[in-house]
C-alpha cells in the first residue's frame, strides 16, 4: 500500500479530482498554502496499491500543468529620497509536488 501526497494549485483540483474518480481513485483534499507566492493550494491524500501508483502519477501529470505568472517583487526598505521601480518577475507556478510514501498499516473502520 502507498500513500500519494500531491500538492497542487486549487484550480487544478477541479480537473484532477474528477479524472481520479473516473479511474476509480478517491482522494482526501486538505486546504494548504505555501510556496514562493504564498497562495492557496490543495493537498491530496490518495491511498493506492503499489501497482496503481504509476496511473495516479500519470493522471496528475496530465491535469496539473505548470504556468508562468508575473508578480511584483516586494519593495526594499529605502532611505528617504530614494526611488525604487519594481519590475515584474516572471515565475513558474502550478504543476504538482508529489510524495509517494510507504504505508505500514491501513485500516478502514466503520
**pLDDT tens, position by position, 44-93:** 999 999 999 999 999 999 999 887 777 766 666 666 766 666 777 777 66
Give a yes or no: residue 95 inside a domain.
Answer: yes
Lowest mean pLDDT among 7-21, 38-52, 87-101: 87-101
Structural domain harbouring 36 = 2-102
Number of domains in the chain: 1
pTM over 0.95: no
Closest CA to 96 of 2, 22, 23, 15: 15
Which pLDDT does position 16 carry in this prediction? 98
CATH number at 45 reads 3.30.70.120
Separation CA 43–CA 33 (nearest Å): 9
Give a yes or no: residue 35 inside a domain.
Answer: yes
Give a yes or no: residue 29 inside a domain.
Answer: yes
Amino acid at each position: 500500500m502507498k500513500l500519494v501526497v500531491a500538492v497542487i494549485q486549487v484550480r487544478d483540483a477541479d480537473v484532477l479530482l474528477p479524472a481520479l474518480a473516473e479511474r476509480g481513485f478517491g482522494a482526501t483534499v486538505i486546504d494548504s498554502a505555501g510556496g514562493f507566492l504564498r497562495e492557496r493550494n490543495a493537498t491530496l491524500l490518495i491511498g493506492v496499491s503499489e501497482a496503481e501508483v504509476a496511473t495516479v502519477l500519470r493522471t496528475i501529470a496530465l491535469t496539473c500543468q505548470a504556468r508562468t505568472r508575473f508578480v511584483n517583487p516586494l519593495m526594499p526598505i529605502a532611505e528617504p529620497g530614494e526611488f525604487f521601480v519594481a519590475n515584474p518577475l516572471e515565475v513558474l507556478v502550478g504543476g504538482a509536488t508529489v510524495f509517494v510514501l510507504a504505508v505500514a498499516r491501513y485500516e478502514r473502520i466503520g
